[in-house]
Amino acid sequence: MRHVRKSYWLTRVADHMGYKAACIQMGALGTRSENIDRAVALIDKTDADLVVLPELFTHCRDFKAGEPIPGPTTEVFARLAREKGSYIVMGSVLEVDEHRRMFNTSVLIDRRGTICARYRKIHLFSYRSGEKRSLIAGTDVVAARTKLGIIGLSICYDLRFPELYRALVQKGAEIIVCPAAWPSPRLEHWIALNRARAIENQCYFIGCNQVGTPAPAATFVGGSMITDPWGETIVAAGNAEAIITAVIDVDSVNEIRKEYTFLNDIVAF
C-alpha cells in the first residue's frame, strides 16, 4: 500500500512558504502499460504537491492509440492523486472523442482525483512528424484556478508561440506547465524558450520533457527545468531519467507583477 501524505500544503500556502512542484522526466520506452507503471512508480518517489509528466508519456508518436477522457489512464492517475494528496498534470495523452477525432490532450487532476482541466494542444507539430496529419488541433486557451494558484496549460510545440502564453496570463496564469517530447538537436531552443516565457509573463514555468529514444527517428533530450518569474532556472535535469523539484511561491509572482508592471504596458497592434 502506498504511503498517503497528510494534507499539510494548505498550511504552507497560507504561511506564504510555497509548495513543492516536481517534473517526472521519463521516456515512453515500453508498452503503454509499462509506461504507465513507470510513471506511477516515479510519482510514488516524490511528495510534491504538483507533479508534471511529459507529453505522450504513455505511447509516444503512436497516433492510433487514443482513448477517451475520462478513461482508463485518467482513472489510474486520479486514484494516485487521491492517495498522495497531489495535483497531477498528466503531461499529455492521445484523446479520442465521441466522433473518433484524435487530440493531443493534457489533463490536470486535483488532489481529490477530479479532472479539473483539460487542454487540447493548439499548435500541432508538422516538421517530420505525423502529428499535424493525424490529430485535430485544439482551440481553447486553458488556465485552471486551483488551491496551488492559477495553472496555465500548454504542450511542447506551443512553446514557440508566445501569443498563447500571453493569453494564459490574461486568464490569470501564475504557473504555466509545458509537458514536452522535445528532440535532442534543439536543446538550446528549449532552454531559451522556457526562460523567455517565464520572463515575459512574470510567472513560474515548468517544462517537463521526455528522455531517451522510443523509436529510431526520435531521441528526446531531457533537460526538464523549473524557471522562476525572473527567468532564473531553479533546477534542471540532465539527459537521463530524473525527478526534479522546486518550491513554488505564488505570492512572489503577484509581488513581482505589482512592483514591475510590465504586463500593464502591453500594446495591442
How many Å apart are CA 105 and CA 93, to the nearest integer? 5
Distance CA 168, CA 205 (A): 12
Sign of the CA dihedral running 22, 224, 54, 101: positive
Q: Which residue has the cell 510590465?
A: 262
Residue 124 CB: number of other CB atoms within 10 A?
A: 22
Cβ contacts of 110 within 8 Å, gap of 6 or more: 81, 87, 116, 146, 147
Asked, as a colleague might, if the bond just before 70 is cis with ω within 30 of 0, I would say yes
Reading the block at residue 62, the C-alpha cell is 503512436
CA distance linking residue 172 with residue 80, whole number of Å: 28
d(CA 96, CA 66): 5
- What is the separation of C-alpha 154 from the centre of its chain, rounded to a whole number of angstroms? 7
Distance (Å) of CA 92 to CA 37, 115, 194: 16, 13, 18
Residues designated as active site: 55, 121, 156
Sheet with 242-248, strands from edge to edge, namely: 115-120, 102-109, 87-96, 50-52, 19-25, 242-248
Q: What is the distance between the alpha carbons of residues 98 and 228, in angstroms, rounded to a whole number?
A: 39
